[in-house]
Amino acid sequence: MALLSNAAILLEKELRTEYRSRELLTTTVVFILLVFMLFSITFHPTGSESQQFGPGLLWMAFLFAASLMLQACFLREQTNDTLSALRLTVSDPFAIFFAKLAASTLFLLLTELFMLPFFAGFFNVRILRVLPQLFVVFFLGSLGIAIPGTAFSAISAQARMRELMLPLLLLPVLTPVLIASTEVTAGLLNSEPAMNYAGLGLIIAFDVVFLTALWLFGEYLLEE
Amino acid sequence: MTAAAFSPTGIRFENVEKRYGSLYALRRVSLEIAAGECVALAGRNGSGKTTLLRIAARLVRPAPGEVIFFRSRENGRGDVEAKHVPTGFVAHATMVYDELTAEENLMLFSRLQGIAAPGERVASLLGEVGLSDRRNSLVRTFSRGMRQRVAIARALLNRPAVLLLDEPGTGLDPEGISWLASTLSRMRDEGRTILMSVHGESKISALATRAIRLDAGAVVADTTMGANLHSILTFAGA
């Protein structure tokens, strides 16, 4: 119970600081919008090309935006060494990770849902009929990005060349979740939408494995 | 601050060593700080004071060596798990959030520690550090000295039995130094253990009942005697 209580308190802190600064949400929304615009202007995709490449582009944009967002996740705690204060006060260090990955998932999900109409507009795809299913994929995919992302953010925040370190660590690890999320999204954006349950299962398995690993070994990532 | 029930707790460093790459921050340091002692750590920059304090705060793991907390023997009790010792730590960095107000910062850390009646405790500490009228201001609008007051208030939230202070006077004006000295004096008289790094003599270092000088990660002097204590604290570069 102490874990959940501490995590809830820390999540509230994450939401409050983001509400005041709006740094993460603004940056990621602008970044994804730029990717959509540049791709649309450069390639002028036809309807069938949009269906073929759109989901991949969508998740690539989410992934790069997430790596920007996750960079700040633990870097913010370095400024005044607040991570040390948290380590001294929480009874279970996993509460720190739990709160951060919950906040990152929420911010990513909000960004993705906000950007979805823009994607539909730029690439002429129909989303309204599969909106609930897309929400499920976006949630599980965002969680899949946020769990290892939070862990690697803790590692890279203490490293030299930290800005380069996070994408270098994160992108290869996220390949399975990227492929699965793209395939599930592609199935939903088809002319005859269908849920790819195998892909969805893969994302869930990925989330469970990495969450367990973070729960078991997260404490060591916070040590100096 | 009202004196609350607590168990006087000492700290024992056993062969504590810490290296950063090839650089020794601490070399086989063995020390015992008795429960209720007020100890000043002196030494040049880079002598290992901060590392020793961070190891005592369990933020840095020594390798090899260990830090053991123990209850006063008069109470008939021995070693105690570090996580059961209420510890306060004031570091070089303020360890508070710029994007939160002074009150929000203290409430956050109170709630995380499960402090009873956190609102009253926070209001009382904000009054003590002289920030009641700025409690709703964001910390990023504060001067260095005001941030340090918030940092000290954060460290005192849990009424620590062991207080670790890394140059606690940093940024404080003379009035702030006097307040801190009187607060530490009261805590020392209550029997709380204080381990603090200091530079030279001041109202704060004058509270010490024992002085230890570190040099290149090793203890080179350790005394409780008045004249020697003075010489350790005033040692050039200390």
Domains of chain B: 1-86+163-238 (3.40.50.300), 94-158 (no CATH)
pLDDT value at residue B72? 67
Per-residue tens of pLDDT for chain B, all 238 residues: 445 677 888 999 999 999 988 889 999 999 999 999 999 999 988 899 999 999 999 999 998 999 999 986 665 567 878 778 899 999 999 999 999 999 999 999 999 999 989 999 999 999 999 999 999 999 999 999 999 999 999 999 999 999 999 999 888 888 889 989 999 999 999 989 999 998 877 888 888 999 999 999 999 988 887 767 777 777 655 4
Contact A20/B at CB under 8 A = yes
Q: How far apart are CA B3 and CA B13, in angstroms?
A: 28
For the ranges A37-46, A84-93, A149-158, A191-200, the lowest mean pLDDT is seen at: A37-46
Domain ranges of chain A: 2-221
Q: What are phi and psi of A80, to 5 degrees?
A: -115, 20
**Confidence band of A131 (pLDDT split at 50, 70, 90):** very high
Beta bridge partners of B24: B19
Q: How far apart are CA A98 and CA A115, in angstroms?
A: 26
Contact A200/B at CB under 8 A = no
What beta strand segments (E) does chain B contain?
Answer: 9-20, 23-33, 38-42, 66-71, 79-80, 87-90, 162-166, 193-197, 210-215, 218-223
Residue A141 pLDDT more than 90? yes
Return the HEC string of chain A: CHHHHHHHHHHHHHHHHHHHHCHHHHHHHHHHHHHHHHHHHHHCCCHHHHHHHHHHHHHHHHHHHHHHHHHHHHHHHHCCCHHHHHHHHCCCCHHHHHHHHHHHHHHHHHHHHHHHHHHHHHHCCCCHHHHHHHHHHHHHHHHHHHHHHHHHHHHHHCCCCHHHHHHHHHHHHCHHHHHHHHHHHHHHHCCCCCCCHHHHHHHHHHHHHHHHHHHHHHHHHCCC
Q: Could you tell me whether strands B162-166 and B193-197 are parallel, antiparallel, or unpaired per DSSP bridges?
A: parallel
Contact A23/B at CB under 8 A = no
Nearest CA in chain B to A86: B109
How large is the ipTM?
0.87
pLDDT tens by residue, A29-77: 999 999 988 988 888 888 788 888 889 999 999 999 999 899 888 988 9
Whether the full predicted model's pTM is greater than 0.90, yes or no, is no
Q: Do A80 and B93 touch (CB under 8 A)?
A: yes
- In chain A, residues with a C-beta closer than 8 Å to the C-beta of B54 are 84, 224
Residue A215's alpha-carbon distances to A93, A212, B59, B168, in angstroms, are 9, 5, 19, 35
pLDDT value at residue B1? 46
- In chain A, residues with a C-beta closer than 8 Å to the C-beta of B99 are 16-17, 20-21
Residue A199 pLDDT more than 80? yes
Structure tokens given for B94 = 């303020």
Nearest CA in chain B to A12: B108
Q: Do A89 and B109 touch (CB under 8 A)?
A: yes
Nearest CA in chain A to B19: A224
pLDDT value at residue B4? 60
- In chain B, residues with a C-beta closer than 8 Å to the C-beta of A6 are 112
Nearest CA in chain A to B151: A85
